[in-house]
């Protein structure tokens, strides 16, 4: 049986532990309450626009903060929806402008502090320390060339049936295409899902620090060249690789009708069979 002094010490230790637990709970509750007071609630505003576009009319969607998703539609109506969301500023202060001329349609974001028009083909963006993200979803008529640009956001283009020009600085890029054009990132990864290329089509895929993943279908008929300065190239395809580790590669499939050029400075390149 423990001595009275030992029993008293145990009781005192238990009380100290209980006090510490209660203090921790109080601090956590206070922090949560403080965070709730200082963190503004998310403010959301939706935007939409639609119009018929002539066949082959170029469509440009240009943002700054936010993602761009593009899906094909079989009719001639271009539909663009956007979700503006921010905490510190009012999303309604960020405008979305549409410019339409004989060369194409341009949809762009314009942030407070600047009043430049949305110029065709450029889609200029301006921001003064704004926290509002603008996420675009585009229903693109089949056969319309596409330009999609953002700085801090991902780009997801599905089933494009005309030339594509997609670029993001800090986001990732996923493109399904069998046409020519350009896909570019600075630090984001690129995933390219290829279809049968049109005769003479050329597709350029470029990144500085991103990883490139090129998915090739079974009935592919094009030439792929790949080069990385400081990364390495891997492939599920036979042959093509040069060096160890491979930093350049070239494959030709069928009677090549198009070319795909893949270049990254510091990233890896993987060429795989499409699933």
Same structural domain, 19 and 82: no
Of 60 and 21, more confident? 60
Strands of the sheet with 222-228, listed across from one edge: 95-101, 104-110, 58-62, 146-150, 164-168, 181-185, 202-207, 258-264, 222-228, 246-252, 241-243
CA distances from 208 to 71, 104, 173, 234, 268 (A): 27, 30, 13, 18, 10
Same structural domain, 5 and 135: no
Same structural domain, 2 and 128: no
| Tens-digit pLDDT profile for residues 163-208 | 999 999 999 999 999 899 999 999 999 999 998 888 889 999 999 9
Average pLDDT of span 23-45:
66
In the chain, the number of structural domains is 2
Pairing of strands 241-243, 246-252: antiparallel
Same structural domain, 187 and 106: yes
- Residue 66: pLDDT band with limits 50, 70, 90: very high
Same structural domain, 205 and 253: yes
Same structural domain, 47 and 181: yes
Average pLDDT of span 77-99:
92
Same structural domain, 226 and 119: yes
Confidence at residue 21, expressed as pLDDT on a 0 to 100 scale: 63
- Residue 64: pLDDT band with limits 50, 70, 90: confident
pLDDT of 88 higher than 90: no
Same structural domain, 62 and 26: no
Tell me the whole-structure pTM to 2 decimals.
0.80
Same structural domain, 20 and 75: no
CA distances from 148 to 32, 66, 72, 84 (A): 40, 12, 14, 18
Helix/strand/coil for 13: helix
Whole domain around residue 240: which residue ranges? 43-273
Residue 184, both tokens: 């570019």
């Amino acid at each position: 049986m423990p001595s009275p002094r030992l029993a008293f010490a145990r009781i005192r230790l238990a009380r100290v532990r209980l006090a510490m637990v209660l203090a921790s709970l109080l601090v956590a509750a206070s922090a949560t309450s403080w965070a709730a007071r200082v963190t503004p609630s998310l403010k959301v505003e939706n935007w939409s626009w639609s119009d018929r576009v002539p066949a082959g009319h170029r469509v440009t969607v240009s943002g700054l903060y936010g993602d761009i998703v593009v899906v094909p539609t079989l009719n001639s109506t271009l539909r663009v929806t956007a979700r503006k969301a921010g905490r510190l500023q009012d999303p309604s202060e960020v405008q979305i402008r549409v410019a339409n001329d004989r060369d194409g349609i341009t949809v762009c974001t314009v942030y407070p502090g600047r009043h430049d028009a949305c110029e065709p083909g450029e889609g200029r963006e301006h921001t003064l320390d704004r926290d509002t993200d603008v996420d675009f979803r585009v229903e693109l008529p089949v056969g319309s060339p596409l330009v999609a640009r953002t700085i801090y956001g991902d780009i997801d283009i599905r089933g494009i049936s005309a030339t594509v020009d997609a670029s993001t600085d800090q986001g990732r890029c996923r493109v399904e295409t069998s046409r020519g054009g350009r896909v570019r990132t600075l630090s984001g990864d690129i995933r390219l899902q290829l279809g049968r290329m049109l005769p003479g089509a050329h597709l350029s895929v470029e990144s500085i620090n991103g990883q490139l993943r090129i998915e090739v279908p079974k009935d592919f008929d094009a030439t792929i060249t790949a080069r990385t300065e400081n990364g390495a190239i891997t492939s599920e395809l036979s042959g093509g690789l040069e060096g160890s580790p491979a930093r350049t590669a070239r494959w030709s499939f069928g009677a090549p009708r198009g070319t795909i050029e893949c270049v990254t400075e510091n990233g890896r390149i993987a060429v795989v069979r499409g699933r």
